[in-house]
Structure 1
Amino acid sequence: MLLIATAFALITVDIRGGQESPVDGARQAAAAVFGPVENGVAAAVDPVGNAIGAVRDSGERHTRIAALEKENAALKAKLGSDDRNRNRVRELDSMLKTAGAGQYGIKGAEVIAIGAAQGFSWTVTIDIGARDGVQRDMTVLNGSGLVGRVTTVGPSTSTVLLANDPDFTVGTRMEESDELGFATGQGDRPLLVQLLNGKAKVKKGDRLVTFGSQADKPFVPGVPVGEVVRVDPAGGGLTRNVYVRPYVGFTKLDIVGVVVQAPRTDPRDMVLPQKPKPAPTVTVTATPPAPDGGQPGQQMGGQAPVGPATGRVERKPGQPAQRPAAPPADQQAGQPDADQPDQNQQPQDQGATP
């Protein structure tokens, strides 16, 4: 209690004294001593104060962050949409090239549903129907090849049975041999093709197109189907089985075309993509060295090469004529020198012994 009373007394005296307070000197001395300590404590607790301020302003900052996140999401959606649009443009361009190569009149469509909703295991729904001129049993294709055929037509939508469905069958023709067959879907496995000729020669990599139907329904001719990936051994039966990988990816369909007008003539193999050209092979021919270590095409002893037709000694301009090497001793007897007259025909006065 005594300390409290003393403190109140000092405070009263200091207030009444004003600038001439008797405790002013003591207050200045205390400030000089404890001021640095207060600054250090203030610096230490500054983050705490900032955090309190941040909590107080967190509502406004949260609003700004939410707005930025919304803008980022919009930008990402736009970028994703641009990428998708570019892919769709490429698909449309490829489909138009396929239709142009086969002279097919098509109606472009977009796949809007996929699955078994219509009662089939491998079907898609497209966004065009009877109002667009679509009819049942029309061929459906895309830039890669055969997609399927139209099975159900509504006013503004249609159902397409895909070529890999087990209930799907299409007549096929081999690219080069013209062997005919029937392709049947097997879900996510390669198509099964039964060739009508049990002895048909077929190999891996051979390609097939649609053979076509009467009145071009349900299939127009010349649409690419796929390429052979496996061939069953010929067993002497009436038919032969081959397995074909389809060109179309049935799990990622987007832009397709319904053939509403068949070609005037069978395009046959014109719609198939061009085969890749094989890489050129480099052939290196090694020239064997001449006998005894000489260079190819050179005679030993510095002699010039002998012409192949005449046997003459060939020499370069300015080079003195050189006589060919003498034949072996066992071949010299009875053979006159090519550059000297026969010794038996020389006059007696030119070195002949009397």
Structure 2
Amino acid sequence: MRDTRESRLLLVLLIAIAFALITVDIRGGEDSPVDGARQAAATVFGPIEDGVSAAVDPVGNAVSAIRDSGERHDRIAELEKENAALKAKLGSDDRNRSRLAQLDKMLKIAGSGQYGIKGAEVIAIGAAQGFSWTITIDAGANDGLKRDMTVLNGDGLVGRVTTVGPNTATVLLASDPDFTVGTRMEGNDELGFASGQGDGPLRVELLNGKAQIKKGDRLVTFGSQADKPFVPGVPVGVVNRVDPSGGDLTRTLYVTPYVSFTKLDIVGVVVEAPKEDPRDTVLPAKPKPTPTPTVTVTVTPSAQAPVDGQYPQEEQ
């Protein structure tokens, strides 16, 4: 349509009518006189809107899927983070359970021997004081520790305290070549002196060269005067080899220590000695021997075997 004076007047008239209808519709509310026309328009244009909606929905669904995918990705990342935290916590719990088991085992030894102990954690290893086999523990003079106190764990003798600071102490391990402790054999009470050999077995010199010793025999600490540096009865190890005496005044034994010196974590320092020598009561229970299986042999009599000393007669 061309832009003429008549066309402009028509446009203004249509706009005025539209505003009038909008005003009437708003004021009429649900009783609006144009409600019927609106419903008719919905009837006409509804299917078209549905078609447009159906055409547009896949796009909307795709956008929603992308948004949900991002949310799912964030949730997966959050779950993975939580899972990693749980695994870390589980690992920590496993370690704590292991340490609690070590502590429980050590307390049982302390109870059996009536040792008053101060628990400590190994915080360093090495040659801080020039020794080859030492550890540093997180307890010191402020905890009542002094030089030449016995150190043990849930397995047996660990060593002795050599240097004490306010909050830490150095322990010389029983595996050190400079370490020596008096020992007593279980059962026959034969005395000797055990020395460390690094990562090898302990070397024990028995005072009695004719002592009857065999593989599997066990040793404990003999104890020292005034219980320093060693209290009596602490498990030392098991004999794994006995050298021939050869007429010597002493006899050499090689002993596998109860303690694994490369896996130390929780230890106890004996700050109060037992009132009485616990003797062999602190040693672990001996393993029960495996019973030998009994073999039963069943003999089935042969057809030709004699019955009551008589052989069956042959048929004629």
Could you tell me the TM-score, scaled by structure 1's length?
0.63
Deviation digits for residues 112-137 of structure 1 (CA, Å, limit 9, x no counterpart):
11112232211111111111111110
Does residue 89 (structure 1) correspond to residue 115 (structure 2)? The answer is no
Match of 1:228 in 2: 239
Alpha-carbon spacing, 1:67–1:283, altered in 2? closer, same or farther (3 Å): closer
Deviation digits for residues 267-324 of structure 1 (CA, Å, limit 9, x no counterpart):
11101011112233455677998x96337xxx879xxxxxxxxxxxxxxxxxxxxxxx
Match of 1:47 in 2: none
Matches within 5 A, 1:229-244: 229-244=240-255
CA distance in 2 between partners of 1:270 and 1:160 (Å): 25
Match of 2:126 in 1: 115
Give the counterpart of 1:171 among 159, 167, 182. 182
Runs of 5+ unmatched residues, structure 1: 1-49, 302-354
CA distance in 1 between partners of 2:165 and 2:73 (Å): 51
Residue 176 of structure 1: how far off its partner (Å): 1.6
Deviation digits for residues 25-48 of structure 1 (CA, Å, limit 9, x no counterpart):
xxxxxxxxxxxxxxxxxxxxxxxx
CA distance in 1 between partners of 2:110 and 2:307 (Å): 67
SS of corresponding position for 2:204: strand
Match of 2:263 in 1: 252
Higher relative contact order (CA 8 A, sep 6+): 2
CA distance in 2 between partners of 1:121 and 1:61 (Å): 57
Does residue 210 (structure 1) correspond to residue 221 (structure 2)? The answer is yes
CA distance in 1 between partners of 2:77 and 2:289 (Å): 57
Percent of aligned pairs with the same residue?
78
SS of corresponding position for 1:293: coil
Deviation digits for residues 11-65 of structure 1 (CA, Å, limit 9, x no counterpart):
xxxxxxxxxxxxxxxxxxxxxxxxxxxxxxxxxxxxxxx9xxx9xxx99999777
Match of 1:185 in 2: 196
Does residue 293 (structure 1) correspond to residue 306 (structure 2)? The answer is yes
Runs of 5+ unmatched residues, structure 2: 1-61, 312-316
Does residue 158 (structure 1) correspond to residue 169 (structure 2)? The answer is yes
SS of corresponding position for 1:73: helix
SS of corresponding position for 2:196: strand
Alpha-carbon spacing, 1:63–1:114, altered in 2? closer, same or farther (3 Å): farther
Residue 239 of structure 1: how far off its partner (Å): 1.0
Residue 67 of structure 1: how far off its partner (Å): 5.1
Match of 2:112 in 1: 101
CA distance in 1 between partners of 2:77 and 2:162 (Å): 49
Q: How many residues align?
A: 246
> RMSD value over aligned CA atoms?
3.0
Give the counterpart of 1:79 among 90, 105, 108. 90
In terms of mean alpha carbon deviation, does 110-119 or 87-96 score higher? 110-119
CA distance in 1 between partners of 2:171 and 2:256 (Å): 20
Give the counterpart of 2:289 among 272, 275, 278. 278
Deviation digits for residues 170-206 of structure 1 (CA, Å, limit 9, x no counterpart):
0001112211110000110000111111111111111
CA distance in 2 between partners of 1:66 and 1:186 (Å): 53
Match of 1:124 in 2: 135
Alpha-carbon spacing, 1:64–1:282, altered in 2? closer, same or farther (3 Å): closer
Letter in 1 for 2:157: L
